[in-house]
């Protein structure tokens, strides 16, 4: 049997069933089909192959013939002059016509082309039905390719790619060596091509919108980092600022990776702006930390000197505390030298102060023990002085307080922790005596008395006048106003009289 021609496989998964069916049908085909343009060469090859197949058979027959002749009886040998009878010729099969195609007994297949027929190929050594079916499968393959393009359009494929594939497919369909409705297939291709113009316009509009959105997003990122770079770079929290820069750079990389490809000019311009702003921030950050390092070195040197001065006060004990407090003020004004350095230097400075305050605490403990008796004496004196709080006579209270104060001073110092207690008790008694003096002064002050007498006389005159006005008026509203004013003047007179 001649070698079988394999039909062209469809280019997508959607035509896989048709391709499988075609391959199965091709395998079952009894002989090779040839297209009209290549019919001569395959036919010759088929004839040569048949001759080659017949040659061994003839040789085998020739080799078997003597043996058969030797074994056969003489009387059964045919006469030399008798020739074998020729086999009767088989009747030619009728032409098979189905739809737009037809095939004759020689395997030649035609397809309807307008009012006539166009030869599409030949399928020798096969029945007309098999030849016709083969070229119908060729049409099915072409129809599958057209259907695949239609599906790609419905699926939103790139219109230019589909148009390119359709332009390549159309000549193949126009001159297809296949049996089927070629004009209908061409009409579908034309309709498909016609719809690609609108689809391409829509895709271009969507692409422009996507591109504009991508440019806007990148511009927002660029403007954000430019805003950071345009701020006051002398007062910046650099840790937070650089974290924001890292986030903006990550956004830029994401947009560059996942977004549409921008025109080179626009992409380069935006990247240059982003890079310049980030470079500005990086330069300012490096300069800031360089200045900060220099400042830290200076502060570290000054604080180290303060530590040494504080440590030198240790021999003075509690007497060195005032000088230490002065050093502490200088420490606070020195500034920062970095967290770790500051912590280490402060530990040394505080340790020097602790030595002074420990000496003071020891001294206070000695004093407390020494002054414990004084505390008890002052507490007893306070109990003795409490009756002064009940005295209302200024001179008697002052005389009693003077004796208490003299004895208070003679007792001397008390422990520090009890100082507020006893001082507050004495202050209450002194305040009571001072209030008695103030009241006496207010009551005996001649100037105040003169002022009070003058004001009382004026009020009395005003009251007499108001009483006369009230008696002479008949207007109820005016009378009410005068009576209200009279009540006010009388209340003032009472106050002045009580004060005088």
Q: Which of 410, 414, 411, 412 is CA-nearest to residue 372?
A: 414
Is residue 33 classed as helix, strand or coil in its secondary structure?
A: coil
Rounded Cα gap, residues 360 and 156, in angstroms:
91
- Residues (pLDDT < 50) of the chain are 1-92
Q: What is the pLDDT of residue 148?
A: 92
Phi then psi dihedrals of residue 163, to 5 deg: -65, -40
**Cβ contact 382:423 at 8 Å:** no
Q: What is the pLDDT of residue 278?
A: 92
Q: What is the pLDDT of residue 193?
A: 81
Is residue 179 classed as helix, strand or coil in its secondary structure?
A: coil
**Cβ contact 106:119 at 8 Å:** no
Q: What is the pLDDT of residue 279?
A: 93
Which tokens sit at 173?
A: 């369909």
The torsion defined by the Cα of 72, 74, 76 and 81, in degrees rounded to 10, comes to 120
Q: What is the pLDDT of residue 272?
A: 93
Q: What is the pLDDT of residue 449?
A: 54
Rounded Cα gap, residues 490 and 459, in angstroms:
8
């Amino acid at each position: 049997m001649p070698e079988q021609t394999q039909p062209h496989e469809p280019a997508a998964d959607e035509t896989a069933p048709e391709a499988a069916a075609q391959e199965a049908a091709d395998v079952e085909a009894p002989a090779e089909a040839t297209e009209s343009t290549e019919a001569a060469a395959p036919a010759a090859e088929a004839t040569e192959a048949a001759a080659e197949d017949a040659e061994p058979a003839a040789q085998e027959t020739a080799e078997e013939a003597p043996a058969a002749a030797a074994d056969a009886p003489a009387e059964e040998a045919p006469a030399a002059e008798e020739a074998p009878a020729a086999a009767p010729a088989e009747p030619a099969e009728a032409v098979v016509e189905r739809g737009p195609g037809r095939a004759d007994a020689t395997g030649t297949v035609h397809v309807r082309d307008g009012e006539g027929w166009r030869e599409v190929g030949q399928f020798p050594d096969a029945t007309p039905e098999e030849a016709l079916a083969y070229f119908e499968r060729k049409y099915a393959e072409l129809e599958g390719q057209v259907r695949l393009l239609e599906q790609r359009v419905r699926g939103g494929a790139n219109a230019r790619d589909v148009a390119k594939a359709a332009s390549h497919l159309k000549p193949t369909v126009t001159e297809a060596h296949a049996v089927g409705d070629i004009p209908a297939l061409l009409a579908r291709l034309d309709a498909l091509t016609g719809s690609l113009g609108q689809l391409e316009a829509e895709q271009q509009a969507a692409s422009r919108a996507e591109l504009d959105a991508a440019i806007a997003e990148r511009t927002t990122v660029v403007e954000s980092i430019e805003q950071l770079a345009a701020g006051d770079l002398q007062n910046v929290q650099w840790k937070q600022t650089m974290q924001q820069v890292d986030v903006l750079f990550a956004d830029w990389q994401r947009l560059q990776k996942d977004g549409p490809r921008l025109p080179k000019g626009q992409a380069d311009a935006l990247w240059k702006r982003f890079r310049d702003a980030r470079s500005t921030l990086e330069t300012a950050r490096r300069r800031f930390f360089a200045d900060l390092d220099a400042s830290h070195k200076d502060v570290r040197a000054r604080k180290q000197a303060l530590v040494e001065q504080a440590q030198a006060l240790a021999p003075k004990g509690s007497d060195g505390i005032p000088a230490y407090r002065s050093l502490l003020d200088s420490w606070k004004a020195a500034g920062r030298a970095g967290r770790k350095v500051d912590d280490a230097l402060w530990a040394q400075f505080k340790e020097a102060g602790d030595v002074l305050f420990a000496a003071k605490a020891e001294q206070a403990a000695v004093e407390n023990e020494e002054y414990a008796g004084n505390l008890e004496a002052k507490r007893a004196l306070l109990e003795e002085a409490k009756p002064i709080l009940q005295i209302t006579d200024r001179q008697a209270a002052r005389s009693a307080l003077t004796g208490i104060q003299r004895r208070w001073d003679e007792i001397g110092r008390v422990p520090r922790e009890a100082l507020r207690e006893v001082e507050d008790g004495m202050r209450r008694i002194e305040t009571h005596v001072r209030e008695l003096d103030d009241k006496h002064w207010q009551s005996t002050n001649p100037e105040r008395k003169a002022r009070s007498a003058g004001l009382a006389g004026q009020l009395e005159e005003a009251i007499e006048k108001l009483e006369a006005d009230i008696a002479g008026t008949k207007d109820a509203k005016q009378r009410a106003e005068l009576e209200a004013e009279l009540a006010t003047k009388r209340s003032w007179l009472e106050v002045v009289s009580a004060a005088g």
